[in-house]
Structure 1
């Protein structure tokens, strides 16, 4: 849904400037489509808000991150055609856009100003990041020096994303005469990110005595979610304007540029709860992944457990119940309450709901395997077979109806390998892949605070895979409140085993958990991608060798 900011306070004249922040979603690789979106948004910002400047996110021409599309031979031609199209579009306002730009044989992550049908400024990002999910040095050269460009009589310094986190770009721009800083961003979401952005911008604006316009991307690309949260800080370090996270639209801000470019303050949005923020990130991730990849619908296995319950809620909220199909696949170990609760949630959410017993399929498999298994004792092989039959059913429905299979594994399970390859891991997108189990429970309570769709006993009963009689997750794993703390220290903070024990955890638990994390890297390499919500998710963030002699004791 598109929304706009408050009504501007004055028209442009006598040192007054109106900037519109275009907090928008772009499709990676669709340069013509993104260019059309920019033109439409710029014209609307000018006609509806009388914008002087419209600021778009980083690399909006290509979408972010374009990854190895930046290596394609036709990139330069496509970008040149897009820039020519923008210059010929008669936009009315000046625009600041993000674009990959080649100069003297090198490719740069650039901010480009187009005003009056001409390119009036080109700034090359000075600090392309190369940590966590970022890999920009693979593609981009480092820019040098500041750029201050005159826009409507105001000297404006340009910076791009990481430049604001480093020492130099803002300082150099101010030294060169900038009275206003515009910062283009494609800053991905993680828990606590907006607070860290605010602390940084408060410091940068106050220390340099300059207002900063921070415009961020919104939407999702594969596992990354971009939450927007565009902001304006004034020269005293005061937050004057904040766009709600995950909102799409055009957000005008008025400036009075006399001794400083002072933004007109606007009411700030309410601070969302942690659970609300994360839930919005998951919804955004599912919506964009399914929609941008052309899936008309999604399908998932609904077990009566909490992981599939939260996954179903996110899917229905993201796509609408008419695009969601839930399938219960009971076996002899499936409890009656699991059947009852799965049906109750499906009915409450209005999704298509089907029940297919896997008993006859299991018996058929075991008949074939009777000879090679003769004389052996039943073990996890038979348990995993149940999961693999369920995976086959879901993938068959996916093939037949063009639905995306959503898997339901959480981060705790992915970490220790409590999952079945080609079974419950079979699918295209894992909604909870970066959500620890203890947080899954909190998200379930949060979703029920909006409307009670998850039966309460799904949340309160002990978690179980129901692959064996009376099975409980904590029969095989430490209690989740302990497990998640150990995983956070080891996976997200790189603590050694000795350091984790020093935090007060049992030596046996720590050794066991670390061993499980290490030996299950091969599973995670074959797992579907999922929404990243932490600073260290499995996927782009954490890349460990499968074959390794490394010991994690100290």
Structure 2
């Protein structure tokens, strides 16, 4: 089980970006500072240690770069780094001036385990405003040779070098220098298309007002477009301030997501680390057709990229995880980002429904309101849609339809909400029609036998749906669906009834965890009056339940703390199941990898950020046995039992980048697939349940 908790065995790599305190024109001192930080990276378990541009001499030497003693000392400093690397694990990317083919180049050198893997000269030399690098250096295109001898080693040279780790599948690195990123087509673009997953930028980059945010934007965009990680190290303390200043900015991005960022304007050397998910990047590239098309379009020049292999020793044991894993991947912990996403999600739903009504020429909606989360959100969307279309809210024909297990609390909430929103509100007791149906089919319940089976449940669900569709016929209206993405993923719906079938479903790609926050956002945004907000809060405080079977029914999984049938006791906590839906449907990760991520996200509720306003009762911890148990439930239901329901989903707008499960959208799958290989992988990788604490 120790392998399970090792990040390298889960397809991740730890990277370090280092900003040493340099001394101008003092390569011996700079070599010592570089080696000290490289040792720190080694001790942190990193396989990559990135340093700034010309870090072995300092960047701000100007015409001193043409002094023979400085160039000789720089080469001697590189020899020190190479020798020290024999005892270190990481690939070390360092910068220094190098004489090649009778010219001087601003070079990046990859060093590993006593070997110089390659040299990448800078391709684009800035020569405007405060920069005049062409005064000292030649650009990469001036190289005459593809190989050179450096410190007695035969070394490949050029901007076309990829460094591939033979011991860690998917780790392929490329180096570029500072201004290369500012060019319209950076060298790293070709490198990524040729297979590089981690792009390294050795930079100096003096600081001016606003430049740091522009750097971040460039790194984010390049990592996003290239479906790669992008590491950037700018020069820091010790550089000359004769005419410029330096902020020592270091960042690690993964596909436009900031994983780590250094303190700016540090007084001393510093290092940041983060864990990059190589498997996730590869999964993204498998799906991105435009990425593949770009490779095909530029195949000729990509074929000339050269690969240099190296064999880093992978650290063993549990190194922890230096990467933020959102507990709620559909709900950002950052309040500003969350509010922005709620605004977009809500308006996407409203826009989608408004267009459907306009397209059909129908001005009325029929909706079943249970007093639960999903129908509440759909009703809020319906109300805002009517407002936007200039139609009265009485065009919403809202019905609550109590059955055999409907609680007085949810019934009261449903009636109160319909009235507060100004809809046409009515109640239809479905128990008489259900009794007739049960009697017609000879069900024991009709003969006063308390049989609470699937038939008993589905008769109620079917009766509600039958009423809604016939009411829509009668009033020339559309039936508004309420089933959410979480229920669709798990197949927690009755085939052909309201939570699976409708004329249009605004919740189809909205998971349960996001619906909870959409309702909280509506309250916080004062979209409706105080009375409505109070009712919405009461609905949020109610346990999630289908209310089809009394909680006391024999043999039924139910919550011990309420009088309601508990959905989450049957199919698992929506916290975990939404997590599973995101990582498996969006990225196609191995189940054991999803369990690894879930454990790091959920095993300690005192660590990491919770979304604001989340009640303490919803702040759970889940240990590995519980994570594995509910993941097994998810895998069986998602891959084997539920696809036939997804294959005939009604129309509804895609809301989030996390995807939808519409057969016309993000997910197409056979209805008769088997879940065996997913379950087998989970059981083989987690045969026994031991946490690192139990192992220790």
Quick check: 1:325–1:353 contact (8 Å CA) kept in 2?
A: yes
Q: Offset at 1:526? A: 2.2
Deviations along 1:337-372, whole A, 9 cap, x unmatched? Answer: 112111111111111111010011011001111179
Change over 3 Å in CA distance of 1:202–1:319 after alignment to 2: farther
Q: 1:281 to 1:363 in 2, by over 3 A?
A: same
Q: CA deviation at 1:202?
A: 13
2:642 equivalent to 1:530: no
Q: 1:398 aligns with which of 433, 449, 472?
A: 472
Distance 1:485 1:371, change over 3 A: closer
| Residues 1:477 and 2:558 are matched in the alignment | no
In structure 1, the partner of 2:592 is 498
- Quick check: 2:368–2:399 contact (8 Å CA) kept in 1? yes
Specify which structure has the higher proportion of strand: 1
What does residue 350 of structure 1 align with?
Answer: 422
Name the residue aligned to 1:362. Answer: 434
Alpha-carbon distance in structure 2 between the residues aligned to 1:527 and 1:327: 23
2:380 matched to which residue of 1?
A: 313
Distance 1:437 1:371 in 2: 33
Written as runs of structure 1 = structure 2, the 5 A alignment for 1:261-340 is 273-320=340-387, 321-340=393-412
Structure 2 residue corresponding to 1:432, chosen from 501, 504, 507: 507
Q: Structure 1 pair 487/397, CA: closer, same or farther in 2 (3 Å)?
A: same
How far apart, in 2, do the equivalents of 1:385 and 1:283 lie? 31
* In structure 2, C-alpha distance between the alignment counterparts of 1:299 and 1:201, rounded to whole Å: 47
* Equivalent position to 2:462, from 357, 381, 388: 388
Query: What is the TM-score when the length of structure 2 is the normalising length?
Result: 0.40
Name the CA shift for 1:500/1:469 in 2 (closer, same or farther; >3 Å). same
* TM-aligned CA distance change 1:509 to 1:399, over 3 Å: same
Give me the whole-angstrom Cα distance separating, in 2, the residues matched to 1:329 and 1:345. Answer: 14
Structure 1 residue 486 and structure 2 residue 550: aligned?
no
Do residues 416 (structure 1) and 490 (structure 2) align? yes
Cα drift, residue 389 of structure 1: 0.2
Pairwise CA distance, 1:319: 1.9
Instruction: Tell me which residue corresponds to 1:547.
Output: 672
Question: What is the CA deviation profile of residues 388-442 of structure 1, one whole-angstrom value per residue up to 9, with x for unaligned ones?
Answer: 0000000001111221101111111110011111222231111111111111110
CA distance 1:414–1:501, shift in 2 (3 Å): same
1:84-483 mapped onto 2 (5 Å cutoff): 200=221, 273-320=340-387, 321-370=393-442, 377-424=451-498, 425-449=500-524, 450=526, 451=528, 452=530, 453-454=532-533, 455=535, 456-470=537-551, 471-483=565-577
Could you tell me how far apart the structure 1 residues matched to 2:364 and 2:431 are? 27
CA contact (8 A) 1:316 1:323 kept: no
Q: What are the superposed Cα offsets for residues 216-262 of structure 1, whole Å, 9 maximum, x if unpaired?
A: xxxxxxxxxxxxxxxxxxxxxxxxxxxxxxxxxxxxxxxxxxxxxxx
CA–CA distance in structure 1, aligned partners of residues 488 and 219 of structure 2: 32
Q: Deviations over 1:56-91 (max 9, x none)?
A: xxxxxxxxxxxxxxxxxxxxxxxxxxxxxxxxxxxx
Matched-pair contact (CA < 8 Å) for 1:301–1:327: yes
Q: Indicate how the Cα distance of structure 1 residues 200 and 528 shifts in structure 2: closer, same or farther if over 3 A, else same.
A: same
Q: Counterparts of 1:196 and 1:472 in 2: how far apart (Å)?
A: 46
Shift in Å, 1:512: 1.2
CA distance in 1, matches of 2:592, 2:396: 46
On the 8 A contact 1:490/1:514 being kept in 2, the answer is: no
Secondary structure at the aligned position of 2:508 is classed as coil
Instruction: Work out whether residues 395 and 426 of structure 1, in 8 Å CA contact, stay in contact via their aligned partners in 2.
Output: no
Secondary structure of 1:385 counterpart: helix
The answer to whether structure 1 residue 507 and structure 2 residue 628 are counterparts is yes
SS at match of 2:351: helix
User: Secondary structure of 2:399's partner?
Assistant: strand
Q: Partners in 2 of 1:514 and 1:520 — Cα distance?
A: 10
Question: SS where residue 365 of structure 2 aligns?
Answer: strand
1:57 maps to none
Write the deviation string for residues 265-297 of structure 1: whole angstroms up to 9, x where unpaired.
xxxxx9862211211111111111222222211
Alignment of 1:27-46 (within 5 A): none
Q: Deviations over 1:490-534 (max 9, x none)?
A: 112211212212222522221111111112000111221222112
Using a 3 Å threshold, how does the CA distance of structure 1 residues 389 and 292 change in structure 2: closer, same or farther? same
Contact 2:350 2:381 in 1 (8 A): yes
| C-alpha distance in 1 between matches for 2:496 and 2:224 | 49
- In structure 2, the CA distance between the partners of 1:378 and 1:202, relative to structure 1 (3 Å rule), is closer
3-state DSSP class of the match of 2:474?
helix
Which structure 1 residue ranges, 4+ long, deviate > 6 Å from structure 2?
Answer: 195-199, 201-204, 371-376
Aligned length: 298
The answer (yes or no) to whether the contact 1:304–1:341 under 8 Å persists in 2 is yes
What is the root-mean-square deviation in Å for CA atoms of aligned residues?
3.0
The answer on whether the counterparts of 2:434 and 2:459 sit within 8 Å (CA) in structure 1 is yes
**Conservation of the 8 A alpha-carbon contact between 1:486 and 1:510:** yes
What SS is found at the alignment partner of 2:442?
helix
